[in-house]
Amino acid sequence: MSADYFAPFDTVRYEGPDSANDLAYRWYDKERVILGKRMEDHLRVAVCFWHTFCWPGSDVFGAGTFSRPWHTGANDALAAKAKREAALAFVEKLDVPFYCFHDVDVMADADNTAAFRRSFAEAVDHLEALQTQHGRKLLWGTANLFSHPRYMAGAATNPDPEVFAWAALQVRDALEATHRLGGANYVLWGGREGYDTILNTDVGIEQENFGRFLNLVVEHKHKIGYTGTILIEPKPHEPTKHQYDFDTQTVYGFLKRFGLENEVRVNIEANHATLGGHTFEHEIAMARALGIFGSIDANRGDHQNGWDTDQFPNSVEELTLAMLEIVRAGGFTTGGFNFDAKVRRQSIDAEDLFHGHIGGIDTLAHALVKAAAIIEDGKVDAFRKARYTDWQGELGQAIHAPQASLASIADLAISRDLKPRPKSGRQEWLENTINRF
């Protein structure tokens, strides 16, 4: 029932900035070489299952508005099969290399462990065949540990060990499926790993259990020979009031505490960064500085709304600043840009799915072109490097010498009668320089 859903649409191709075709790329030329690498290899674009094919267009005030063929009845085996077929066909039509999924996104509903495992196994068999048929790959897989009522108080942080065990079942099977399907990464999003009130929460027990769970995941990764990257996706709140994976720095501290800083990286989402009071580029820069940069969920929020709206990115200016940090980090290794974004409830046509993704992909591509131009120009990076040059000088080296102490450094200030003179940070000039691109 889904084989022909996207049949009226041609494969989306690059036609250049002057194209009059609304269903063509104006900036995403996957073969274009930028900074020594093909654009497709820079961006590593993925389409997500959950927002694009699972969400029916509902919100807290109303029922779903979409009438995709697989939304018309129960999420049984036939509907799940149709959804999988439509999804991989759509990814091929967009001519992007990757897709992403949660376990429950791709399978029929199940209400016990045996049925759950059977349904998911059928889905994985089918996805393996579809990947070959459509020539697409898996950027990352994950398990949904937040939607079912059993997870209302968290998964790894739940006060009930039975829920912890159910979560272990899902993650074990999803991680093994990701390995089998050649997934480049496995993601853990702690959507309810946090609390709504401290009155009923023992944060010490919950964080210890969260750390235990993550260590078990990493151990299983190595046991099965999976060589992809384990990722955690930071988010400060929503759905819980406070989530333990608040932002990149918080995640790093958590990883360090449990000895996992060399095993796990972060999957950064633009809208989650802004919910945490940060900019998108701040989170990427922190991940780069801490050595845990992994992958990106590309979307944006609405500046007038205080929640996670998951809209498609459309600001070249904002994405250029983020792209600068990604390029400075050396680009993606196993990660990429996954569109964790959804069309609006009033965008009910199949064509709207194309417009949302085409616009988002072109925004990424345009931002990459501009970021490359800024880096090749060199003025911004040269100024920043020069600003810290004195740390390579005699005093900077003395401060970092192994034998240096607080007292010895203080004595240097006295003996040299230091009189530091403030130097301009030239923020306005830097902003003007960026804007010229």
Phi/psi at 205 (5° precision): -60, -45
- Are the C-beta atoms of residues 196 and 240 closer than 8 Å to each other? yes
Structure-block tokens of residue 244: 């333990």
Tell how strand 293-297 and strand 242-243 pair up: unpaired
Q: Is 355 a catalytic residue?
A: no
Tell how strand 264-269 and strand 337-339 pair up: unpaired
As a whole number of angstroms, the distance between CA 437 and CA 434 comes to 6
As a whole number of angstroms, the distance between CA 384 and CA 430 comes to 10
Q: Which entry of 29, 105, 245, 310 is annotated as an active-site residue?
A: 105
List C-alpha distances in Å: 4 to 1, 61, 76, 82, 311. Answer: 7, 32, 20, 10, 27
Q: Which entry of 102, 179, 278, 357 is annotated as an active-site residue?
A: 102
Phi/psi at 400 (5° precision): -95, 5
Q: What is the DSSP letter of 53?
A: I
As a whole number of angstroms, the distance between CA 283 and CA 119 comes to 37
- DSSP for 160-198, please give it: -HHHHHHHHHHHHHHHHHHHHTT-SEEEE--TTSEES-G
As a whole number of angstroms, the distance between CA 124 and CA 216 comes to 23
Q: Is 102 a catalytic residue?
A: yes
Handedness of CA 23, 27, 33, 34 (dihedral sign): negative
Q: Which residues are catalytic?
A: 102, 105
